[in-house]
Amino acid sequence: MSGGLLITILSGLVLLVAVLRAAQSIRQDRAQGRGTLPDTGHSVIDASYSSGGAGGGDAMRYRIPRDPQTYAKLFIPKDRRK
């Protein structure tokens, strides 16, 4: 078996495994659902990172309302005419 044929077969197998794994992942996501149920209160997202140096990095916390109407109002400009 030549080297080129072996590389082609192995590449095809890797591609096949990747496609099958992606299909499995998509099916699992649909079964579990995504997001949070509408409710009162907020979801908190902690977005922290470190640049690896001394004192570098940043930490942010975002509060996202769980109520769909309150969430939608966040995107309306404050200076909008009424």
Give, as one character, the DSSP assignment of residue 27.
Answer: H
Return the pLDDT at 49: 82
pLDDT of residue 11: 96
Which pLDDT does position 80 carry in this prediction? 66
Asked if residue 82 has pLDDT above 80, the reply is: no
Mean pLDDT of 7-33: 87
pLDDT over 90 (residue 28): no
- Write phi, then psi, for 13 (nearest 5 degrees): -65, -40
**pTM of the complete model:** 0.46
The answer to whether 66 and 38 have CB atoms below 8 angstroms apart is yes
For the chain, what percent of residues have pLDDT higher than 90?
26
